Amino acid sequence: MLSKKTKYAFHALTYLGKHRDRGAILIQEISEKYGISHKFLENILLELKKAGFLGSKKGKGGGYYLIKAPNEIALSRVIRLLDGPIALLPCVSLNYYEPCEECQNQEQCGLYKVMIKVRDETLKILEMKSLEDILEGE
Amino acid sequence: MLSKKTKYAFHALTYLGKHRDRGAILIQEISEKYGISHKFLENILLELKKAGFLGSKKGKGGGYYLIKAPNEIALSRVIRLLDGPIALLPCVSLNYYEPCEECQNQEQCGLYKVMIKVRDETLKILEMKSLEDILEGE
DNA sequence: AATAAGCCTATATAATTTGTAGGTTTTATA
DNA sequence: TATAAAACCTACAAATTATATAGGCTTATT
């Protein structure tokens, strides 16, 4: 399951995507809309900004806005940013690889081989679907 | 990512699958093979037994053994048993459904609709792959 | 009877997630 | 130029979940 952080990130991105024409939008507006703690959401938006998805404006009249096209924001990128690995095991993670302690030789591990396939097929889905797909459903 | 519990479950099932001809196998043997705490593994095997994957024999000469054909043990069933939902959000979970508090109307939620699709495609993979596939890789 | 094994429940420990606090910096505007 | 509004930043607190341990109970073999 996705963490709340990631779920909230998707909500925020969706909201900002829907209101792209309105310029900078307050954290407050988004947090009220979805009933998310203002401060918690603040941290999330900051991460999304640092990752290059959002821009922001400080001071009075400030807020956040989308700086990428929705179809360039794949679900996989948002999930990796906030939740970490998509793979089911550390030993098959592309971005967060760690060997399994219990595994002497990956090349002989049937679990490893299956999980590589599961990862590849899962990634196909999560890389193909983007914020654009979410926006189309609203 | 899978919890260690689920990963260990897969290791144990794999080991029991490989040694199906040997009858009951000690927890000890499996826990040593993979460096898993005996007591932790005990809990896991018990769950797998209650779920109908394993049989057991008590007393001296006892142990655990597989009672299902490996191709009948889909990855999805093991994951659901030990880790819970496969879906990325509670509101799209088939087996552990819960509505999202922030969501007034699912039918208008773009995130919901996309996650339904992701779930369906993920399930296709995890229901198709089974212990048999793991065993073939060993 | 003694021993070896799984069964069962509760609890302890560790890690992670979720949320909060409080001050700093920047910007608009009165 | 003072004030207020907003994002920025870091650290910490609380809650939840995952991992692991303990210890007695039951069953089967010898």
How do residues B10-42 score in pLDDT, each as one tens digit?
999 999 999 999 999 999 999 999 999 999 999
- Judging contacts by C-beta atoms under 8 Å, the chain A residues touching residue B134 are 110-111, 113-114
- Give the residue ranges of DSSP H helices in B51-89: 75-83
> CB of A128 within 8 Å of any CB in chain B?
no
> CB of A4 within 8 Å of any CB in chain B?
no
- Give pLDDT, residue A103: 84
Joined together, the tokens standing for residue B74 give 């889909």
Q: What average pLDDT does the segment A8-18 reach?
A: 98
Q: Which helix (H) or strand (E) holds B125?
A: helix B110-128
Residue B5's nearest CA partner among B37, B53, B50 is B37
The three-state (H, E, C) secondary structure of B37-57, written as one string: CHHHHHHHHHHHHHCCCEEEE
- Judging contacts by C-beta atoms under 8 Å, the chain B residues touching residue A117 are 125, 129
What is the pTM assigned to this prediction? 0.95
- Give pLDDT, residue B102: 86
Provide the Cα torsion A27, A33, A37, A40; round to 10°.
Answer: -50
Q: Considering chain A, what is the average pLDDT of its residues?
A: 96
Q: Determine the distance between A46 (CA) and D3 (C1') in angstroms.
A: 26
Q: What is the pLDDT of residues A71-130, one digit of tens each?
A: 999 999 999 999 999 999 999 999 999 998 888 888 899 999 999 999 999 999 999 999
- Give pLDDT, residue B46: 98
- Give pLDDT, residue B104: 80
- Within 17-46 of B, beta carbons closer than 8 Å to A belong to 34-36
Residue A73, φ and ψ in degrees, nearest 5: -105, 90
Joined together, the tokens standing for residue A4 give 């709340």
Q: Determine the distance between B50 (CA) and D4 (C1') in angstroms.
A: 63
Residue B73: pLDDT band (50, 70, 90) is very high
Decide if A118 and B134 are in contact by the 8 Å CB cutoff. Answer: no
- Give pLDDT, residue B115: 97
Q: What is the pLDDT of residues A53-86, one digit of tens each?
A: 999 999 999 999 999 999 999 999 999 999 999 9
Amino acid at A47: E
Residue nearest D22, CA–C1′ metric: B39
Residue A41's nearest CA partner among B2, B102, B40, B124 is B102
Q: What average pLDDT does the segment B46-57 reach?
A: 98
Provide the Cα torsion B125, B131, B137, B138; round to 10°.
Answer: 160
| CA A38 – CA A72 distance, rounded (Å) | 27
Residue B116's nearest CA partner among A58, A133, A72 is A133
Residue to test with chain A: of B125, B127, B136, most A Cβ within 10 A: B125
Q: What is the pLDDT of residues B76-116, one digit of tens each?
A: 999 999 999 999 999 999 999 999 888 888 889 999 999 99
Which bases on strand C have an atom closer than 7 Å to a protein beta carbon? Answer: 3-10, 17-22, 25-29
B54-57 and B63-66 strand pairing: antiparallel
Number of Cβ atoms within 10 Å of the Cβ of B2: 19
- Give the N- to C-terminal CA distance of chain B in Å, as an integer: 22
Residue B20's nearest CA partner among B63, B60, B80 is B63
Q: What average pLDDT does the segment B30-58 reach?
A: 97
Joined together, the tokens standing for residue A124 give 């196909």
What region does A85 belong to: left with phi over 0, alpha with psi -120 to 50, or beta? beta
Nucleotide nearest to B54 (CA to C1'): C6
| CA B83 – CA B61 distance, rounded (Å) | 31
- Give pLDDT, residue B103: 84
